[in-house]
Structure 1
Amino acid sequence: MKIVTVSGYKAHELGIFDQNHIAITYIKKALENRLRALCENGLEWVLISGQLGVELWAAEVVYTLKSEFSELKIAILTPYLQQESHWKEETQQYYQSITERADFIDSISKRPYEHPKQLMQKNQFLLQKSDGLLLFYDEENQGSPRYMFEIAKKMEYNREIELLLITAYDINEIIHEEQMLTAMDHENIDEN
């Protein structure tokens, strides 16, 4: 897999309204684990649409992985022009800090938001340009990733794309591992 689209829930769909929320750490760790494995097998490009939440956290992970995998690149292909124009100033600044480091940035629709169809076109476009989709999604809690998931399922059935999911179970496993490591660290400190 040379090109993967990464997507998933928006921050507010996960009940995350602060960039310092502990859940972001675990989500980024899950993304890092999957992206690292893909990089070790020749991943060259990560595509995102720049949506708040999983996609921008994935960009942060890519920027970290670039120190280890210098050939890794990220493209931000927004669904329409100025998608951030109605966001809070603080959120716009965060978004800009992500976009200014991208290897490629463009808008799929060369117009500002006009219709939900632009979002559907974005999903289709990104998946057509990719070998795979890495999606943080749980069928029990559908939310906005459902639309991309449904397109990817059809494409996977036709062997046009590989669908890789990160689920709530995966996040819980990472939390459990982190808790075990923390407990072991405390035991080592107590022994000394």
Structure 2
Amino acid sequence: MTKVLVVSGYKAYELGIFQKDHPSVSYIKKAIKKELSPMVEEGLEWVLISGQLGIELWAAEVIFEMQMTYPNLKLAVISPFLEQEAKWNEQNQEWYESILAGADFIDSVSRKPYEKPWQFRLKNQFFIEKSDALLLVYDHEKEGSPKYLYEMAKQYQNNHSYPIHLITFTDLQSIVEEDEYSQTYPEINDV
């Protein structure tokens, strides 16, 4: 059973999304919720994110929504280093601060500001070792920042039972099609 889950994926700009309320975001959030719901029903207690702009902060918003129904579900934001938001624009800093304000636990893996890429590797290693499973919005067709966490998790699987749940672009397209279908044929939803 998964008690602690890492959720990660692409950064917003890797998906060509530059506004947190872009229409695609609702589908991404639906896909995340669809994956999380059965895990929460089975006893998921903690979701860990590092607070990256994009999938992770949208996942945090999904967690906040789910906490209304599942108050025992908790969110931890553990950044790779201190002040990761220092160079973000004001709007993104405010978004990040709003997520931190709702989080149940906040910390940093490295207790200093950004120095070198090893801080990201250390964060990935920490997340995998401190969790029971990984939910990753990642598609092998489009490499990007999630690739490193995915590869480290796959390597970890060589010696550990560590489920990796992927949300691919095909999965996201299915969510879009389901939504369009239910809007086109609303009477079917009533059956």
Equivalence for 1:139: 140
Equivalence for 1:129: 130
Structure 1 position 77 matched with structure 2 position 52: no
Q: Do 1:28 and 1:61's aligned partners in 2 also have CA atoms closer than 8 Å?
A: yes
Aligned partners of 1:186, 1:163: CA distance in 2, in Å?
A: 36
User: What is the SS of the residue equivalent to 1:157?
Assistant: coil
Equivalence for 2:168: 167
1:77-128 CA-partner distances (Å, limit 9, x unpaired): 0000000011001110011011111000001100000000000100000110
Q: TM-score, normalised by structure 2?
A: 0.96
Aligned partners of 2:116, 2:47: CA distance in 1, in Å?
A: 26
Aligned partners of 1:22, 1:46: CA distance in 2, in Å?
A: 25
RMSD after superposition: 1.4
Q: TM-score, normalised by structure 1?
A: 0.95
Count of aligned positions: 188
Q: Quick one: which amino acid aligns to residue 114 of structure 1?
A: E
Which aligned segments of 4 or more residues in structure 1 are displaced greater than 4 angstroms? none
User: What is the SS of the residue equivalent to 2:7?
Assistant: strand
Q: Do 1:47 and 1:126's aligned partners in 2 also have CA atoms closer than 8 Å?
A: yes
Q: Quick one: which amino acid aligns to residue 145 of structure 2?
A: S
Equivalence for 1:95: 96
User: What is the SS of the residue equivalent to 2:185?
Assistant: helix
Aligned partners of 2:44, 2:23: CA distance in 1, in Å?
A: 28
User: What is the SS of the residue equivalent to 1:100?
Assistant: helix
Summarize the alignment of residues 148-159 of structure 1 with structure 2, pairs less than 5 Å apart: 148-159=149-160
Gaps of 5+ in 1: none
Q: Do 1:156 and 1:163's aligned partners in 2 also have CA atoms closer than 8 Å?
A: no
> CA offset at residue 186 of structure 1?
8.6
> CA offset at residue 22 of structure 1?
0.9
Q: Do 2:78 and 2:106's aligned partners in 1 also have CA atoms closer than 8 Å?
A: yes
Q: Quick one: which amino acid aligns to residue 117 of structure 2?
A: P
> CA offset at residue 162 of structure 1?
1.0
Gaps of 5+ in 2: none
Equivalence for 1:61: 62
